[in-house]
Amino acid sequence: MRGKPSRGLYSEEELKKHKKGKDHIAKELAKQDTLNDYDQLQVKPIPSHLDYYGKQEWKRIIPLLQQLPIAELDRQMIESYCQLHGYKRRLQKDIQEFGEVTNFYDDKGNLTNRRINPSYNAYLSTVKEIRMIANQLGMTINSRLQLAIPEQEKEEDEILKLLKG
């Protein structure tokens, strides 16, 4: 998240550039101020229930999340994200060790059956959950872009879509 922070927050000068009027500026600033009504995320102590990989992920993402309007209310979601990250890393190791598919052989050494490693399915569902939580926390490029695009640009895009058919 280098460069200009993508917080979706605008100064009064930036809002005046969009020429929507004083009412719009006042509403937008009031909406932004409501984000300050919530307690800031307490980054320490690191949750003790997280495993090694979860704690490492916590240390990695917290400085980045502090650039976004994340509050203490979001703590449970962040902890879940880190916990799922730890699960994912352990499942990756299991898949590397045992493979994606398990082969079963009879006494003569003939292949009798092949089954998907249960860790592989668990890994896929963990990745889906991580992606969903990351999107909700503004940790994906699309979710950050949605925070950064001013309302006027969104409205112009909708008008262009209507004109193009």
pLDDT at 76: 87
Q: Is the pTM of this model over 0.75?
A: no
**H-helix or E-strand spanning residue 89:** helix 75-98
- Each residue's pLDDT, cut to its tens digit, for the chain (165 residues) gives 344 444 455 555 655 555 565 666 566 655 555 545 555 666 678 888 999 999 999 999 888 887 777 777 778 888 999 999 999 999 999 999 988 988 888 888 888 888 898 999 999 999 999 999 998 888 887 776 666 555 555 556 666 677 776
CA gyration radius, the chain: 23
CA angle 77, 80, 84 (to 5 degrees): 140
Angle, helix 75-98 to helix 118-136, in steps of 10 degrees? 150
Residues in the chain, total: 165
Strand positions, DSSP E, 42-110: 101-105
The DSSP 8-state label assigned to residue 8 in this structure reads S
pLDDT at 9: 55
Residue 155 DSSP SS3: helix
Q: What does each C-alpha distance from 78 to 21, 32, 112, 120 come to in angstroms?
A: 38, 22, 44, 24
